[in-house]
A and B are shown apart, each in its own frame.
Chain A
């Protein structure tokens, strides 16, 4: 064997186990999903027919439930991107300003991220259905005793509450890492030049942590478009279909009611394209701003 051939053989031997698992469990299903999306397969029959893009057309034109789930998910994503990043940055700044209690607060705020959103969802369900009515009765704050899960409007806010509770600590850790990377001498130089605290934040700290912001917004965007656990645990998409996010709509299509695998696969591809498009645009826009800063 020549040296080059031997080198290639060794490379393949080292890569093969990882590659095999990856091909079988990620790449093949990705192609499989795309193929099924062009068929009318119901998941059971051996035979199915090729139907071209008609699944896509049906999903985007004739499926009001799916379109509603896209709109609902978009609304959720917008709230999450703003609220989660503002809250995470705020917490990060406050936590970083503490000296001795810094580690304690960071530990506490990150704690919910260690738990599954299913566990968190059931704990919040207890708060919404058992604890809040009790507080309302005891304190006389009647407005607390509402149908936080059962009301179509309120359940949106309940899901947001749970998602923020469970997710903000993760983004906070990223902002803390960003803040720690801001060199102290830059802030000192600005202070000597007569900048006040707000001007230092605005013109030194914020531009310096713009890479962390890019990551924070990216992670919130991609996880929010795909949200499933939080909604599943708290409302299951209900009442009715009022909190049905895209992932729940796909699940129901594929596994619950109809078993329309081909059609559900087309919806999954649409979700993939939406996430890809939105995150690519976001990364492009925010990376450009990073350079300017």
Chain B
């Protein structure tokens, strides 16, 4: 008994050691970026591991200016907010009604939306950019947000469609008897009940839009409309050895996401798992 107790303790210690090493490995690049973003260039070059002798915030001032942080931050927020709001609104309307309406038309529409998971972005990006140009959506933050709605709405429809099945139909019927119209029924009875799936849809899409690179790279041509990621990429292209400014701008780009993650991780992790399994 004693022997197996000791063996169990040893194996627990080995597991803890393995996990800790993996954790250090995972956090190391982020730690390196943070640490060296507050050192002078000279200090960084002599010792990447050393603690900064003093906080060098000039790197941040430099990066702030070079990526035009207020503008590119605002652009990223605008794209994400409009994109997410559009997807949540349109997908919940469509997913709810299709789920509640039996029949061939409804089934065919659902099939069309479900098809989206088969279509990889790379296969459509070339003509998507042409279409966006034709509709004057290329080149602006709003245009980019609208394209995100068109790219993300179908998966969200599928998620809402599945979730609505768990809401009892009696609720709809009771509301109709009380004299609720279609839109009223949706906005005051159904939509609030969709909150859990709306949270999942919002999280998945906000993360995607915040971190997506290829679409804004193709869509945005004018630096006034750059998102944080595109601005950082341009900074890297222009000054690819100015690591002080690059690391500071990486920190500025990831800070909002990491903060949101630490605050909302419970919802984020369950949303991710759910999105992966159902989508």
CB within 8 Å of B: which residues of A? 7-8, 10-11, 14-15, 17-19, 21-22, 24-30, 32-33, 35-36, 43, 91, 94-95, 97-98, 101, 105-120, 122-124, 126-127, 130-131, 134, 165, 169-170, 173-174, 176-177, 215, 219, 222, 225-226, 228-229, 232, 246-247, 250, 254-255, 261, 264-265, 268-269, 271-272, 275-276
Q: B187 interface residue, CB < 8 Å from A?
A: no
Q: B1 interface residue, CB < 8 Å from A?
A: no
> In the bound complex, what is the Cα–Cα distance between A173 and B126 (angstroms)?
33
Known: A91-B22, A114-B258, A119-B229. A11 touches B97 (CB 8 A): yes
**A29 pairs with B94, CB closer than 8 A:** no
Q: Which residues of B contact A36 (CB under 8 A)?
A: 126-127
Closest 4 CB pairs of A and B: A25-B150, A32-B127, A14-B97, A116-B211
Min C-beta distance of A26 to chain B, whole Å: 6
Q: Closest residue of chain B to A105, judged by CB? A: B19
Mark out the residues of chain B between 161 and 186 whose CB falls within 8 Å of any chain A CB in the assembled complex: 182, 186
Please tell me the number of chain B residues within 8 Å of chain A, measured between CB atoms: 90
Q: B201 interface residue, CB < 8 Å from A?
A: no
Known: A18-B93, A18-B94. A109 touches B254 (CB 8 A): no
Q: Which residues of B contact A30 (CB under 8 A)?
A: 119, 123-124
Mark out the residues of chain B between 116 and 148 whose CB falls within 8 Å of any chain A CB in the assembled complex: 116, 118-128, 130-132, 135, 146-147
Q: B57 interface residue, CB < 8 Å from A?
A: no
Min C-beta distance of A68 to chain B, whole Å: 18
Not counting A117-B213, A127-B29, a sample of 6 additional A-B residue pairs whose C-beta atoms are within 8 angstroms of each other reads A11-B97, A14-B98, A29-B128, A114-B257, A123-B30, A173-B276
**A14 pairs with B30, CB closer than 8 A:** no
Give the interface SS of chain A, mostly helix, strand, loop or mixed. Answer: helix
Interchain CB contact (< 8 A) of A26 among B119, B214, B262: B119
Min C-beta distance of B151 to chain A, whole Å: 5
Interchain CB contact (< 8 A) of A272 among B113, B119, B147: B119
Q: Which residues of B contact A265 (CB under 8 A)?
A: 126-127
> In the bound complex, what is the Cα–Cα distance between A131 and B44 (angstroms)?
10
Min C-beta distance of A45 to chain B, whole Å: 13
**B123 pairs with A170, CB closer than 8 A:** no
Q: Closest residue of chain A to B47, judged by CB? A: A134
Q: Which residues of B contact A29 (CB under 8 A)?
A: 124-128, 131
Interchain CB contact (< 8 A) of B126 among A8, A105, A254: A254
**B277 pairs with A33, CB closer than 8 A:** no
Q: Which residues of B contact A229 (CB under 8 A)?
A: 213-214
**B91 pairs with A18, CB closer than 8 A:** yes
Q: Closest residue of chain A to B266, judged by CB? A: A103
**A10 pairs with B182, CB closer than 8 A:** yes
**A19 pairs with B94, CB closer than 8 A:** yes
